[in-house]
Structure 1
Amino acid sequence: MPLPAAVLTTPHSGYHWPGSLLSPRNRRFFEGWYYRVSLAEEGESFAFMYAIEDPAGGAPTSGGFAQVLGPEDGRTYQLFGGVEGFWATPDRLALGHRQDPPGPAGYLEPEDFEAKVRRGYQATDSLNQGCIEDETGEITRWCYRLRPVHGWGAPGRPVATMGWLSYLPVFEPGWQILMADGLAEGWIEWRGRRYTFTGAPAYGEKNWGGAFPTQWFWVQANAFEGSPGAALVAGGGRRGVLWWEESVAMVGFYWAGRFYRFTAGQEKLTCTVTPWGHWHIEALSERHRIEVSGTVAPEGGIELLAPTANGSRFVCRDTLKGEVRVRLERRWGDRAVLFDGRTPLGGLETGGGPWDGEWRISC
């Protein structure tokens, strides 16, 4: 069935495998996608994570998973053994994986998917839908529409998150913010309850490559109290650059119709992150300063699956109930505080390691 027209075309939206120099068939490869929706009235959020590894098939690591992080940092997931039933398009954001029932892979109208597919998912820039069963037999189902507001870059002009070098086989893995902010409408069935929502803040990103980060952190929020339209993404990690590794970080923030970007190599960034519990990022450009802080109780969060060199493993810890604060200042001319807001629905993550205590990045 043909896909509906794309709503937002962001660089790197399409499937990267096989991509000649970027992802030849004879090496390890993974691609992962992340969708999130925040339900402020419920004080909860949901995140949906999809991944495929070694899609040529036949390797011990060939396969995929669908994973959901839900209220009170609850987790459910389903592994898809093998790559049969997986599909994705190279020219736009559209993918899916279904193995029950087996059959030709491809996009289905949401009504057909709900009627025919017992275990699987499909996702585009305007839809996220699925149904999975965990090892206990518990079933989780979801279907919601998306209306993207911002990709990554100046409003209406999405650009590559990692810059033009992301089109070359230089950085591993690649990372792209697909939707820094959007609106969601639909429903999610989770642990005996059906959540329905309209106009809920939504977010999406992806990563891909043939190498895997050894250590990373991430902060995301777009449900700031009393500040609709504010959207934050910040992250950092040790990534492969040709034959060496480097530590990098970046911050992006949408507010009042403008996009503020702070990236390593162009602005000064300082990050201090503990193995779990505290995140602090400060970035300076010639004209602006932004400070991002995130906190969560030591007992908060849960381990999540992520692709690794040895297949999918529980190598990161996440929460969707972090306390995140952002303060943005203008440093030139009429100096002023442009934004100072917080949310109890921040997404926080640390991964990889082992972490040797507090991690500091200055770039």
Structure 2
Amino acid sequence: SNQRFWPHRRFGGSSYFQSVPALNQYWHPWLLGGRVEGSAVIDGQSWDLTGAQVYGEKNWGKGGFPESWWWGQAQGFTDPRACVAFAGGQVSAGPLRTEVTAVVAALPDGTVLRLGNPLTSQVETTVSDDRWTLRGYSRKWSIDIDGTAPIADAHILPVPIPAERRNVPGALEHLGGTMSVIVRRRGTIVWKDRSRLAALEHGGLDRAQAELTRREQLSQDR
């Protein structure tokens, strides 16, 4: 109930990149909020989910996941209408190779802004083991996002390699990180808040395998 769908008709979260054929990855956050009604049974225990917030997106592309990528999404802000999401990585299509990050913020007043077009609304991104830092700006809007989560708490998730029909460790995933957000309009702060229920992800086969190896070594040393 109370669903908040993507409001722009022309392009989705990937903007005009969605019109470029044969990219290895596209991203679209089609549901920016809503309320759950129902329950879930996990390992024999029933959990009442009624009233929980929901978010939905889709990813698609040619050849599976990029060589490296970063992603984040948060609700759980003071105002339940707020939702922030970002996705970026190494995008390729044949000889074309570039790094792109897109940011979407649904503000409590109903505004939905998207930044991440390389020429008109750039997003500068720095991702380390424990931190996701993004600075996006256009002529009208700017957004600062700081996400944090310790790498030791990350879930190591498998990703598919379609050509080989197998899964391998590929993503470090957090479901309880912290995300601080500041949105400015023409330099004036119009919204800022912090969520402690942020999902944060850093993807890449080498990075995930390195963390898996580190944990296995720690286990052996004990």
TM-score w.r.t. length of structure 2: 0.83
Partner of 2:202 in structure 1?
Answer: 350
Report the equivalent of 1:172: 24
Q: How does 1:14-93 map to 2 (within 5 A)?
A: none
SS at match of 1:200: coil
Aligned ranges 1:192-203 → 2 under 5 Å: 192-203=44-55
Q: What is the aligned counterpart of 1:322 among 174, 177, 195?
A: 177
Give the structure 2 partner of residue 267 of structure 1: 121
* Structure 1 position 282, deviation (Å): 0.5
* Residue 160 (structure 2) pairs with residue 307 (structure 1): yes
Identify the residue that residue 149 of structure 2 maps to in structure 1.
296
**Are 2:131 and 1:278 equivalent residues in the alignment?**
yes
Higher strand share: 1
Segments of 5+ residues of structure 1 without an aligned counterpart are 1-145, 356-363
Distance apart, 1:315 and its partner CA: 0.6
1:250 alignment partner AA: A
Provide the rounded CA distance (Å) in 1 between the counterparts of 2:105 and 2:193: 12
Structure 2 residue 107 is matched with structure 1 residue 252: no
Deviation sequence 1:106-143 (CA, Å, 0-9, x none) = xxxxxxxxxxxxxxxxxxxxxxxxxxxxxxxxxxxxxx
Alignment map for 1:79-228 (pairs within 5 Å): 148-151=3-6, 153-154=7-8, 157=9, 159-212=11-64, 213-224=66-77, 226-228=78-80
CA offsets per residue over residues 245-285 of structure 1, 9 Å max, x none? Answer: 211111110111101110132212211101x2110000111
Report the alpha carbon displacement of residue 223 of structure 1 after superposing the two structures with TM.
1.5
Consecutive aligned runs of 4 or more in structure 1 exceeding 4 Å deviation: none
5+ residue gaps in structure 2? 208-222
- 1:303 CA displacement: 0.7
Greater Rg by CA: 1
CA distance in structure 2 between the aligned counterparts of 1:241 and 1:148, rounded to whole angstroms = 34
Query: Partner of 1:161: helix, strand, or coil?
Result: coil
Question: Are residue 241 (structure 1) and residue 96 (structure 2) matched?
Answer: no
The answer to whether the 8 Å contact 1:211/1:240 transfers is: no
SS of alignment partner, residue 4 of structure 2: strand
Partner SS for 2:55: strand
User: Compared with structure 1, are the counterparts of its residues 243 and 147 closer, same or farther at alpha carbon in structure 2 (3 Å cutoff)?
Assistant: farther
| C-alpha spacing 1:316/1:239, structure 2 compared with 1 (3 Å) | same
Contact 1:323 1:344 survives alignment (8 Å)? yes
Aligned length: 202
Amino acid at match of 2:69: W
For the residues of structure 1 that align with 2:43 and 2:24, how far apart are their CA atoms?
Answer: 37
Shift of 1:242: 3.1
The CA RMSD measured in Å over matched residues stands at 1.9
CA gap of 1:158–1:323, structure 2 versus 1, over 3 A, is farther
More helix, by proportion: 2
C-alpha contact 2:169 2:205 (8 A) present in aligned 1: no
Q: Is the 8 A contact 2:173 2:200 kept in 1?
A: yes
With the length of structure 1 as denominator, give the TM-score of the two structures.
Answer: 0.52
**Any conservation in 1 of the 2:168–2:205 contact (CA below 8 Å)?**
no
In structure 2, what is the equivalent of residue 105 of structure 1? none
Residue 160 of structure 1 and its aligned partner are, at CA, apart by: 2.2
* CA distance in structure 2 between the partners assigned to 1:279 and 1:316 by the alignment: 14
- Distance apart, 1:235 and its partner CA: 1.6
